Amino acid sequence: MSHHQDTKDDDLALRRETMEEADVLLIGGGVMSATLGVLLHQLDPTLNIQIVEALADVARESSNPWNNAGTGHAALCELNYTKQLEDGSVDISKALEINEAFQMSKQFWAYLTEQGILGDPKDFINAVPHMSFVRGAKNVSYLRKRYEQMQAHHFFQDMEFTDDAQTITEWTPLMTQGRNPNESIAATRVQSGTDINFGSLTQQLVDYLEDKDNIKLATNHIVKDLKRQKNGHWQIKVRNMTRGVNRKITAPFVFVGAGGASLPLLQKSDIPEGKGFGGFPVSGQFLVCDNPEIVSKHEAKVYGKAAVGAPPMSVPHLDTRVIDGKKSLLFGPFAGFSPKFLKSGSLLDLPSSVKISNLIPMLAVGKDNLDLTRYLIEQCMLTEEDRIDTLREFFPEAELENWRLETAGQRVQIIKKDQEKGGILQFGTEIVAAEDGSIAALLGASPGASCSVSVMLDVILKCFPHKLDQWQEKLTTMIPGFSKDMKEDVMAYREIRKKANDVLGI
Ligand SMILES: Cc1cc2nc3c(=O)[nH]c(=O)nc-3n(C[C@H](O)[C@H](O)[C@H](O)COP(=O)(O)OP(=O)(O)OC[C@H]3O[C@@H](n4cnc5c(N)ncnc54)[C@H](O)[C@@H]3O)c2cc1C
């Protein structure tokens, strides 16, 4: 190796060396840490920020484009956000909440694009219509009712409904070709849906941060332990996997953004707020098609209804993906079981996470979720042909030879204490923060990366309340919806949304 190369490697190693003291320590190089890092740097550029990532690069776990479905979740198509109530009406409150959260993400990304921090928006966000699709008279009637209620709100004003097969053919030809003409089907469509490459987004956010003198990224560094010191700051033990040495970093604020591995790190922190939480990992697989002839006939993300017992995030969907400028189709997810908390995790992840404090909630969830257990067992036993049969419910003429199976990321669902039942399985995300705001961990996986901005804003609200007066104005500049009630304020919503969409080209 040349002397020049040696010096270059030394420089890189030094650049990748960790700080001994940081103001902010971000564990994990996924979209969540990256978003929080950029938000905090924008709010206070003097903060010394250390990011620690276990793998050789950022965005290799759930935030990698092939490990998630890339749907910009805005509740435009996901039927699990709109439950039908006993009186036949549809509860759209969760859909409103998720749409508003996604609007905030778009506003922040638009701000970063205008600032030149993010490059060409097409590299991470592309317009792809969002559709819901149902079969059978009962489901058609639910979809119509849902459409009537949603379309009356300004967030969903552009939604269209049809129960006419010809119109569905115009929207997406693959779904009707070869279908029984007597089958009762219906669909809704919102043209302004999106497909997102969260990997590219994460990489760009981290590249921007890494360029600053007071921000460091250490890859191949795994956080092994964290302890609270007498002065209230945290001391973190990290292992440099390349050199095989341990380092210590202290920081007054730590964010645990380790994806599925956030739970064991939260347990290591020993904060009382983290007691009683458990995790239930669900793995996923997608069928992928790159055949240009087929791909060109489907330009939408089409979400169906979940099977009985299926967890909400296992709703089947047939999706256009746009990754590195190339389009493909993705169908799934097919759920599976693996005790790992990360794709790169260990088979001991689940058993080691069982503690005295979460044993009762975990046993209660096992007992109360037999439908889910049955569903997962059935999913694990699916053959290649079974998977194609499921796909044929969406795309009747699908052929096995055009599709390959890809393994997606792990999702660790939250198990938490419940007064009545002992423990419940929760499918959303939850920020668990210490009372003094010195540490926050993000548990759960849904609706995920799409809501990363509003979820990280919640971390800021919980952990930096004393700074809010000072930061309010900048927060409003970056995310105009932050200080508005967009659910009620139609004019503000229209103006803010148009501006963000124009900048992002969607
Ligand atoms: C199958 C599937 C489909 C999905 N579909 C969508 C979708 O369509 N739309 C959407 O918005 N969201 C979706 N999501 C959710 C979304 O991918 C996640 O919410 C998001 O990527 C989580 O980001 P994160 O930063 O929290 O975690 P990750 O991206 O998983 O990053 C965590 C990082 O922490 C690192 N790490 C872990 N432990 C340590 C340690 N001890 N020390 C140092 N580093 C550590 C890991 O290596 C990893 O890089 C999906 C997820 C899955 C699994």
Domain annotation covers residue 76: no
Say yes or no to pLDDT of 7 above 80: no
Question: Ligand 1 center to residue 214 CA distance, Å?
Answer: 25
Q: Mean pLDDT of all residues in the chain? A: 92
449 lines ligand 1 (CB under 6 A): yes
Domain annotation covers residue 267: yes
Q: What is the pLDDT of residue 88?
A: 84
Given the CA of residue 445, which atom of ligand 1 is nearest to it?
19
- Cα–Cα distances (Å) from 62 to 159, 224, 302, in that order, read 30, 20, 21
Q: Whose CA is nearest to atom 37 of ligand 1?
A: 258
Domain annotation covers residue 211: yes
448 lines ligand 1 (CB under 6 A): yes
Please report, rounded to a whole number, the percentage of residues in the chain having pLDDT higher than 70.
Answer: 96
98 lines ligand 1 (CB under 6 A): no
* Side chain identity at residue 71, one-letter code: T
Domain annotation covers residue 105: no
Q: What is the pLDDT of residue 172?
A: 93
**Domain of residue 203, CATH code:** 3.50.50.60
31 lines ligand 1 (CB under 6 A): yes
Pairing of strands 24-27, 49-52: parallel
Q: What is the pLDDT of residue 4?
A: 57
Say yes or no to pLDDT of 204 above 70: yes
Give dist(CA 270, CA 254) in Å, integer: 14
- What residues make up the domain containing 476? 3-62+199-276+429-485
Question: Ligand 1 center to residue 61 CA distance, Å?
Answer: 5
Say yes or no to pLDDT of 12 above 80: no
Tens of pLDDT, residues 352-384: 999 988 988 988 888 888 788 788 888 888 888
- Cα–Cα distances (Å) from 436 to 24, 32, 213, 465, in that order, read 15, 21, 29, 10
What is the DSSP code string of 348-390?
THHHHH--HHHHHHHHHHHHH-HHHHHHHHHHHT--HHHHHHH
What is the DSSP code string of 429-445?
EEEEE-TTSSEEEEEE-
Q: Whose CA is nearest to atom 50 of ligand 1?
A: 68
Domain annotation covers residue 325: no
Instruction: Name the domain count of the chain.
Output: 1
Tens of pLDDT, residues 383-394: 888 999 999 999
Tens of pLDDT, residues 206-258: 999 999 999 999 999 999 999 999 999 999 999 999 989 999 999 999 999 99
60 lines ligand 1 (CB under 6 A): yes
298 lines ligand 1 (CB under 6 A): no
Domain annotation covers residue 191: no
222 lines ligand 1 (CB under 6 A): yes
Q: What is the pLDDT of residue 97?
A: 96
Domain annotation covers residue 172: no
Q: What is the pLDDT of residue 1?
A: 45
52 lines ligand 1 (CB under 6 A): yes
Confidence class for position 21, pLDDT limits 50, 70, 90: very high
Q: Whose CA is nearest to atom 20 of ligand 1?
A: 449
Q: What is the pLDDT of residue 188?
A: 98
Q: What is the pLDDT of residue 315?
A: 86
Question: Ligand 1 center to residue 190 CA distance, Å?
Answer: 27
Domain annotation covers residue 136: no
